[in-house]
């Protein structure tokens, strides 16, 4: 099987889908890996490093995609490149299937079997393939570093000859993978950390990382079988915002990481909440690529409202592309190895619980597991 890995062309994307170690693992399985020239330029990986691991280097992007039985990449393919793909090829990347129904239809029409890394199930067998978790964990780390860089005070308590400097107060809203990493990072930097989540079940995880869990009175809430937060009612959202106003007013840093899988992120920091915050405080919105938790933000921008800095950077894993690429490459490689057979090909077992969850196009159709699929008749 010929596996093709093109460079990323998405604006601001610095990750590479495969690192040399991933090439080495796939070549050991008998795959022929071909990468586009310069694939590892943003992560310090020279073409010679990939060649030494067993890859061949392509200078013609279109030819690389046209000859590949499998394509590995980070972002979804540009529409014009879908026609370059070989009918029957397997395409694996983040595809944003909840919002890209037209893209899925075009992939299906081309006869491409597309696997969406967003839809990887959170089951024990798929842990090594869970790219959403690996990338979100890095995003949580970067969010805290960005906040520390823009906050006009230090995070830790410090005893000095001039007196005691009190620790900064950090509030993390949403204790998913990104939120938990933000909690852990802020705590390691010496901040006083508090966190809240609509799922009471995460309190133990929050406290184990050294943070105080703030209980919001929003009524009965729950989480899905895979652990994601359930959608709150309008009344619950209103009550949540009212509670957050008081907590945000006391914080030096607020990191928002509240998301609902497959839906637009809820707006939690309204103008009223932001206006209650102290000048000099910092907000980092980790949900910006799904609409954002902060009112009026634009992805990729940093704004200021009455002295409060609001950072909506987006694609935070690309701030640390070496480790983001390393972990994502490991996720992809684990997925390919899981379904690799002894004859040197990828077994498309559509009834497997992993592929059943993340296979969004196959055999000319948008699959039933995709939100874009037609309901059964």
- The set of catalytic residues is 122, 127, 130, 133, 228
As a whole number of angstroms, the distance between CA 296 and CA 145 comes to 23
Identify the CA nearest to 307 among candidates 333, 335, 274, 334.
274
Contact yes or no for 144/211 (Cβ under 8 A): no
DSSP string of 213-244, one letter each residue:
EPPP---S--B-TTSPBPPPPHHHHHHHHHHH
As a whole number of angstroms, the distance between CA 282 and CA 312 comes to 11
- At 133 the three-state DSSP class reads helix
Interior angle at CA 189, CA 186 and CA 195, nearest 5: 20
Bridge partners for 366 per DSSP: 361
Identify the CA nearest to 195 among candidates 176, 229, 167, 172.
172
Identify the CA nearest to 180 among candidates 207, 206, 200.
206
- At 35 the three-state DSSP class reads strand
As a whole number of angstroms, the distance between CA 185 and CA 187 comes to 5
Contact yes or no for 118/97 (Cβ under 8 A): yes
Interior angle at CA 333, CA 371 and CA 328, nearest 5: 70
As a whole number of angstroms, the distance between CA 243 and CA 219 comes to 13
CB-count burial class (<10 Å; 0-12, 13-18, 19+) for 37: middle
Per the listing, tokens 């009112």 go with 295
Contact yes or no for 223/201 (Cβ under 8 A): yes
């Amino acid at each position: 099987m010929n596996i093709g890995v093109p460079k990323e062309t998405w604006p601001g994307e610095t990750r590479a889908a495969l690192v040399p170690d991933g090439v080495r693992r796939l070549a050991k399985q008998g795959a022929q890996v071909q990468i586009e020239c310069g694939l590892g330029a943003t992560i310090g990986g020279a073409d010679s490093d990939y060649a030494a691991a067993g890859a061949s280097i392509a200078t013609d992007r279109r030819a690389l995609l046209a000859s590949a039985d499998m394509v590995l990449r980070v972002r979804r393919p540009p529409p014009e490149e879908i026609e370059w793909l070989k009918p029957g090829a397997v395409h694996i990347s983040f595809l944003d299937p909840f919002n890209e129904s037209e893209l899925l239809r075009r992939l299906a029409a081309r006869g491409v079997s597309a696997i969406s890394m967003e839809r990887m199930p959170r089951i024990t067998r798929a842990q090594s393939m869970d790219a959403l978790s690996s990338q979100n964990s890095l995003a949580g780390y970067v969010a805290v570093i960005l906040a520390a860089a823009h906050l006009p005070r230090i995070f830790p308590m410090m005893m000095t000859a001039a007196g005691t400097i009190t620790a900064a107060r950090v509030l993390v809203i949403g204790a998913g993978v990104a939120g938990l990493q933000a909690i852990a990072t802020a705590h390691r930097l010496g901040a006083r950390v508090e966190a809240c989540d609509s799922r009471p079940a995460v309190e133990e995880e929050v406290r184990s990382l050294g943070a105080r869990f703030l209980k919001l009175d929003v009524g009965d809430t729950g989480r899905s079988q895979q652990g994601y937060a359930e959608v709150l009612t309008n009344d619950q959202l209103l009550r949540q915002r009212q509670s957050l106003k008081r907590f945000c007013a006391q914080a030096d840093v607020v990191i928002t990481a509240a998301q609902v899988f497959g839906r637009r992120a809820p707006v939690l920091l309204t103008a009223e909440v932001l206006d209650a915050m102290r000048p000099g405080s910092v907000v980092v919105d980790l949900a910006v690529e799904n609409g954002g938790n902060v009112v009026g933000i634009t992805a990729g921008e940093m704004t200021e409202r009455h002295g409060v800095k609001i950072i909506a950077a987006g694609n935070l894993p690309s701030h640390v592309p070496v480790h983001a690429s390393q972990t994502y490459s490991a996720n992809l490689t684990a997925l390919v190895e899981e379904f690799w057979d002894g004859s040197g090909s990828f077994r498309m077992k559509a009834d497997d619980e992993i592929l059943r969850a993340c296979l969004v196009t196959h055999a000319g159709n948008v699959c039933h597991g995709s939100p874009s699929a037609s309901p059964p008749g």
